[in-house]
Amino acid sequence: MLQELIRTVLGVQPPRQSDLIKWRRRWRKQHDYTSKKQAPNWWAQFFTQEFLQATSESELYSWGELVELIPYAFHQETLQDLRQNYRPEKLLLCV
């Protein structure tokens, strides 16, 4: 499902493990120490919105999985907020 989600959202093949390693290295090199974990604010808003709009448990799970692939991009507080926004939606879809 995650692979389908990536193809649908991004229009590309899903990343391989080697791609994720390269991205992580590039992320660390391009950002200064104080802002290494600062994805743009709209990223968190985007993912939260996708959690809210998920129409199935598998779709929601895929979005959650995608966030967990890039935890290094977020401040710890932002990541906690995303996880907290994910949980209630998961409970609603499981009922």
d(CA 4, CA 75): 27
Quote the tokens at residue 55. 């129409």
What are the residue ranges spanned by the domains of the chain? 41-95
pLDDT in single tens digits along all 95 residues of the chain:
555 655 556 555 666 778 777 777 777 776 555 555 577 788 889 889 888 888 888 888 888 888 888 887 888 899 999 999 888 777 776 65
What is the C-alpha radius of gyration for the chain, rounded to an integer number of angstroms? 14
* CA–CA gap between residue 70 and residue 82 (Å, rounded): 12
